[in-house]
C-alpha cells in the first residue's frame, strides 16, 4: 500500500524509483505509468529507449522521450514506462490499474493506493 497526503491541491504519494524516493502527484487524467522531469528521468533511467507522440492536456501533440525501468510496485518488479516531460513527477492510471485509490480532498487529507 502507498500512503500519502493531499497537499497544495493534489493527492501525492512517495514512491522509490531506482533507489530514489520521489514525491509524485497522482494524475487521474494521465493514462500512462510515470512522468518525470527530463533531467531527473535522464539521471535515474539513463538514455531514452524511444519517443512517443502524446497528446497533452492543452490538446497539442508532442514527441516525448520514453524510458523503460523495472520498478518495485507492491512487492513485485514491474516494467514501467517513464515519460520525460514537465516539471513535476506524476503517477498515472496505467500504473494504478487494479488498485483502489482513496483521497480525502482536504489539505492534509489521507491518500491511499492499495491493490484490490
Q: Is 30 domain-assigned? A: no
Q: How many domains does the chain have?
A: 1
Q: Is 63 domain-assigned? A: yes
Q: Is 52 domain-assigned? A: yes
Domain span at residue 53 reads 2-12+36-108
Q: Is 54 domain-assigned? A: yes
**Three cell numbers written together for 55:** 497528446
> Left, alpha or beta for 74 (phi > 0: left; psi -120 to 50: alpha)?
left
Write the pLDDT tens digit of every residue in 67-112: 998 888 878 888 999 999 989 999 999 999 999 999 999 999 999 9
From 54, 115, 116, select the one nearest 81 (Cα to Cα): 54
Write the pLDDT tens digit of every residue in 40-64: 999 988 899 999 898 888 889 999 9
Can you say whether the dihedral through the CA atoms of 89, 55, 68, 73 is positive or negative?
positive
Q: Is 20 domain-assigned? A: no
Q: Is 104 domain-assigned? A: yes
Amino acid at each position: 500500500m502507498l500512503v500519502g497526503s493531499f497537499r497544495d491541491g493534489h493527492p501525492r504519494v512517495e514512491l522509490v524509483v531506482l533507489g530514489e524516493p520521489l514525491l509524485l502527484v497522482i494524475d487521474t487524467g494521465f493514462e500512462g505509468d510515470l512522468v518525470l522531469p527530463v533531467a531527473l528521468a535522464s539521471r535515474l533511467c539513463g538514455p531514452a529507449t524511444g519517443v512517443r507522440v502524446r497528446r497533452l492536456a492543452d490538446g497539442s501533440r508532442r514527441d516525448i522521450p520514453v524510458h523503460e525501468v523495472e520498478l518495485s510496485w507492491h512487492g513485485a518488479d514491474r516494467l514501467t514506462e517513464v515519460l520525460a516531460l514537465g516539471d513535476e513527477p506524476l503517477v498515472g492510471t496505467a500504473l494504478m490499474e487494479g488498485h483502489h485509490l482513496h483521497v480525502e480532498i482536504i489539505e492534509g487529507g489521507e491518500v491511499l493506493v492499495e491493490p484490490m
